[in-house]
Structure 1
């Protein structure tokens, strides 16, 4: 194998060959002897030729203020490639030196050192001394009295090295506010750095590091967590000023610490008035720094979209906490509470779980459930199982067959609440969110829901009756109704075939077509009857189905629609069209639906102003960044315009008094509330993970 040619003798470093050694192979280049020699102690380093002469500080330079003098030296240090720090300070002078000045004195032995971080100090003598000149007691000028430019270490003027130096981290307020906004919106760190790279024309041009962005997030979180309760009460007072219908309540313990908290915005109360006929409730974790379970009251609007009625933060999930809110049961809670012992039973036979779900979900009357459950228990020898007995004893609280007549709007489980929980935790809050920030985020959740509702309302603008989502469901049920047939019989009334008559009302017996239910043999063994009776008073337009789906959900079942087709109903009776599924579901309320004031005293929306100014500002930025002359002109105009705008007094609007606690008087349950705000709940040190 041939060796690549070497450009210099020292680049071809071949070990000495001994007798019997294999032929030498090519090796990577080695260092020169001068590269590994100990540096000369008196060697000095100066800035390179890339630093313009007019940027080099010299003795005798005068500046009107200390900031001007410091900024000039800081710009020179940035171009030269070394870090600076403020050293000695006196009324008559100040000193600014290189960060490598002085000698490191270790305060611990090497064996006890927890963090091995080398010291930067190496006795560098580069520094600058500023002398203060006074005229009549007032500072007249700042002069460079002594300037030492020589260093005893190499300088690193590259942008990638300079941005790691503390004095040269250019954290522009506008850019950092933009970073804060992205972090508050849960934008990942890699995406933030990608956006900053595009804004600065490459990652090397970003004047700070990725670690700086992470540290800023930690600092902001620490700052937000301070005075959390004061900020929460301030936000609640702001909401009350924006809309007096905003309601909140809190429960304190004997030490004045917040135990439970509930709030509901005005728009949520309107939604509850329109769609509060069925509500689901569930709790979730990891949404705030106190690990307080979040309880949400969730419903569905006329577009079948989830809507939020109210929020509660509870100290725990004990009975006392739920009694403050409410006490109830539902099917998912009961089955989930017994999930571990049930899984042990399900592991015995793979068919136990589906057969149990069949008894629960495919029975329509208490009698059918009792019969099917008894046969299910006997089939798998579960007569002595305590878990099954416990579930059976409270069957009236969770088995759908016992509350089929109760209206629940297609919400018999917490699935809708679980989807809302997922939305909150994945887009708006996490375990590091403070209470006041969490309350603001929940308002963003409501705004997000309203945006989706507005989009769907516009899509349904041509609908005459049902919303688009409700009509799609009606259409699916109508198609499924073709799977049923009216059983043959010789009874006729007014030309219509029927099975028999009850109280002068005809009874239609519907039978499913073959193939409607999978594994029909097993289904028939557990649920013997799969025929459905539809009792109809055709003249009065009254129809009742045995499955009770309309009474239970407000939507038609396949059996009732099949009966409509059979009796040739030309127009569905209005009594069967619930207003909540139509385009007229929204009602007029005597108060404002809006949670936040979006208009100014002159009647122009604030969002409109912001949008118009951003369009113009981005247009100026795109045009000015192409030429330096245009850039300088635009920057001068923008700075002058900003100073002029900031001097304009704000609109006279109500302000929030955060120093008084009158806002919580009479709102907080418990005996006497002191003038001090309530204390925050204790933080959980060992945060548990969601399963």
Structure 2
């Protein structure tokens, strides 16, 4: 070797830079001539101070005709050698070369192999891809084989050669993709036949190499019997067998276990035995014959348990998709878009479901403990997070309650009305889920608190309400709407003494139609008349008179359910709540919509800890939605439908969502006319002049509007301002008739203004999206890697290798000769 060698041109300088930047462990096959040139480059790099790693020459090996990597031979201990019945005569002579050999995963070689390769040159060595040997100890047979190899030169125009130093993320991704969990096609094809004496660093390495060979041949393997040391109890011998070892019991059995398929075993004797000695594992015995046909293609055998692979990157992506509540079938579609086809995915949808089931099983016994730990963490990280627990006499947690600063601020601004519903259960323990919700200044549902209750008894509801009021500084809501529950009614009466309680109108009417369906079918029109009276009565006296008249006309005095509804009329009929603030609500629909939202993020199989995680997701979503509504209200405006000045004034003060509701009232004022004045300038009678119109709330013909000149305040007999916080179309008609152009201050209450939620909009003002960017980058790089591998396999040489694997037509892979290379070029 000429040690005075120096690069002759820029191409050779580029090659040196590239070789020195290769990370340790990269293995690239080179010919003998290329090895000699690399050795010269190494000397030049050492002298020039360019060396960054252990040296380029330590990264390469020379492949023989069978594509096996010839390495320096390792000595086999005499004790193991005797048990394995192979010669140890050359052990001492190879000691000097052993210390210079760099070992990698699953390497295996013997002195017996050396003599065998000299005689035939064709026998495959069960090597673990020790591809970076210096090649200085090759035999004469290897020298003859290398003379036939192609004289390939390094090409710096190769797009895979990047002279720029890799970034931190690129290094991490390279480490992920250069994992043995996904064996390359070349690695499977070149998997050698196992032979006695092969050496491995660990027992898992030995099993991995045997599994590679099994996948190449078309069968599956399993770990079978093992022996442990009497001194330390560790395994020192293990048997790896074909998965069809043993016999199958196909007798019919009556069992309560779920139905599963049984692997048809044939008593196959194919196996290898590995034994540990002096820190390494050696193959002690090999039996390769099977008594059953092998699978014809890799596409079939990949479903065997031992050949399924799921990397850490796979699991990270699966975890992200599971957090997004994607079902396994949709996850598989995502993996298909990454891998290119379903056959390229080394697992199936069942494996994805099993991952979640295993995680739930692990968390099952420690659910409450993890939940409490999560609560304590949230107290430190989430502003104003508060939680409470109800503990029984045996110190077991029975009920949970929690909220955060966003809930407190929402309640401070919009806590005059709340909705309370317990009809939804969304966890694996069947605990009733109780969202306490309200309405914000955009007319959207907001969350005040969340509770998971042990039952729906009065004491439990009292505990929830007392905890809620205490957490909110003693402030009680003005109104509350719930479903028809006796226990809840008692609890509200006990705790919320100043709060007006109302039952859900929709639930009661629906139940009435169901229970009286037979009677209503016989008395056509009665149901519609009762609903008309209940919905259009403005005072309790009007309702009672109209209801009794319908009952009398249809002779329905004996109907028990109708009599019961009349007795509890003060709890559900709208006429009894005309002066109470229930914004755009007469039912628990807001709680039910909240339940539906939780259904999108949680499942009945979720643990409490998982349920708590989804609470954080929903709160984050609500805050994001609030940001959007706030921005829309400040930057965009609705189009005016009239030229009245008060419409523009309302647009500037109301939030966009509330203004749209007010604009409907402005439009509907044209459906009425002033029929007369009961008191000039103060009391007007309005009459409907059209049969119907959009968003018609009442079917009455006449409405009375009163005006207070001193307070510049209007009041209508429908009392929409008291009920919803905005004036009705009847008042708008009166304003137009009285030629009032300016919007009175009383028209816009504080809770509907644009600027009331400024504090909420700034809550959590610091946004950190770097984690999301990193996740997107990982997915994008992963897809690019898969695409590059797919494009690489389209090359003729690699396609031939893939075809060999798929058709089981094993042809000894050789490096192309000069003649073959010339033919390919032509």
TM-score by length of 2: 0.61
Secondary structure of 2:538's partner? coil
Structure 2 vs 1, CA of residues 255 and 339 (structure 1 numbering), >3 Å: closer, same or farther?
A: farther
The residue aligned with 2:687 is 511
- Structure 2 distance, partners of 1:163, 1:72, is 16
Structure 2 vs 1, CA of residues 226 and 157 (structure 1 numbering), >3 Å: closer, same or farther?
A: farther
1:544 paired with 2:715, answer yes
The residue aligned with 1:451 is 624
Q: Could you tell me which of 224, 241, 251 is aligned with 1:87?
A: 224
Q: Is the 8 A contact 1:99 1:120 kept in 2?
A: no
Offset from partner CA, 1:213-242 (integer Å, 9 cap, x none): 233332223223221111211121122111
- Structure 1 distance, partners of 2:739, 2:373, is 62
The residue aligned with 2:305 is 166
Offset from partner CA, 1:368-426 (integer Å, 9 cap, x none): 2222222222222123333223222222222111221112222221112212212212x
- Structure 2 distance, partners of 1:430, 1:629, is 38
1:370 paired with 2:540, answer no
The residue aligned with 2:755 is 584
Query: Deviation at 1:170?
Result: 0.5
Q: Could you tell me which of 323, 330, 335 is aligned with 2:462?
A: 323
The residue aligned with 1:98 is 242
1:610 paired with 2:771, answer yes
Q: Is the 8 A contact 2:390 2:398 kept in 1?
A: yes
Query: Deviation at 1:149?
Result: 2.2
1:480 paired with 2:684, answer no
Bigger relative contact order, structure 1 or 2 (CA pairs below 8 A, ≥6 apart): 1
Structure 2 vs 1, CA of residues 567 and 66 (structure 1 numbering), >3 Å: closer, same or farther?
A: same
Query: Deviation at 1:341?
Result: 2.9
- Structure 2 distance, partners of 1:265, 1:625, is 44
- Structure 2 distance, partners of 1:51, 1:245, is 57
Q: Is the 8 A contact 2:424 2:434 kept in 1?
A: no
Secondary structure of 1:102's partner? coil
Structure 2 vs 1, CA of residues 85 and 629 (structure 1 numbering), >3 Å: closer, same or farther?
A: closer
The residue aligned with 1:64 is 201
- Structure 2 distance, partners of 1:375, 1:565, is 38
Q: Is the 8 A contact 1:509 1:532 kept in 2?
A: yes
- Structure 1 distance, partners of 2:188, 2:413, is 71
The residue aligned with 2:579 is 405
Structure 2 vs 1, CA of residues 193 and 517 (structure 1 numbering), >3 Å: closer, same or farther?
A: closer
Structure 2 vs 1, CA of residues 127 and 282 (structure 1 numbering), >3 Å: closer, same or farther?
A: same
**Greater Cα offset, 252-261 or 238-247:** 252-261
Q: Is the 8 A contact 2:189 2:216 kept in 1?
A: no
Query: Deviation at 1:113?
Result: 7.1
Bigger Cα Rg: 2
Q: Could you tell me which of 654, 661, 672 is aligned with 1:466?
A: 654
**Greater Cα offset, 246-255 or 623-632:** 623-632
Query: Deviation at 1:59?
Result: 2.6
Query: Deviation at 1:58?
Result: 2.6
The residue aligned with 1:341 is 515
In the alignment, structure 1 segments of 5+ residues that lack a partner are 1-46, 489-497, 600-604, 633-691
**Greater Cα offset, 575-584 or 471-480:** 575-584
TM-score by length of 1: 0.73
Secondary structure of 1:131's partner? strand
The residue aligned with 1:433 is 606
The residue aligned with 1:248 is 387
**Structure 1 segments (4+ residues) deviating >6 Å:** 629-632
Secondary structure of 1:245's partner? coil
The residue aligned with 1:557 is 728
Q: Is the 8 A contact 1:474 1:556 kept in 2?
A: yes
1:203 paired with 2:342, answer yes
Q: Is the 8 A contact 1:93 1:130 kept in 2?
A: yes
Query: Deviation at 1:254?
Result: 3.3
Structure 2 vs 1, CA of residues 570 and 539 (structure 1 numbering), >3 Å: closer, same or farther?
A: farther
**How many aligned positions are there?**
548
Query: Deviation at 1:541?
Result: 1.1
1:280 paired with 2:423, answer no
- Structure 1 distance, partners of 2:656, 2:285, is 80
Secondary structure of 2:318's partner? helix
Pairwise CA RMSD: 3.2
- Structure 2 distance, partners of 1:499, 1:93, is 105
Q: Is the 8 A contact 1:405 1:551 kept in 2?
A: yes
Offset from partner CA, 1:177-196 (integer Å, 9 cap, x none): 32243234332232122122
Query: Deviation at 1:119?
Result: 4.7
Q: Is the 8 A contact 1:274 1:587 kept in 2?
A: no
- Structure 2 distance, partners of 1:50, 1:242, is 48
Structure 2 vs 1, CA of residues 277 and 127 (structure 1 numbering), >3 Å: closer, same or farther?
A: same
Which has more helix, going by share of residues? 2
- Structure 2 distance, partners of 1:289, 1:615, is 32
Structure 2 vs 1, CA of residues 188 and 616 (structure 1 numbering), >3 Å: closer, same or farther?
A: closer
Structure 2 vs 1, CA of residues 394 and 87 (structure 1 numbering), >3 Å: closer, same or farther?
A: closer
The residue aligned with 2:402 is 263
Q: Is the 8 A contact 2:533 2:543 kept in 1?
A: yes
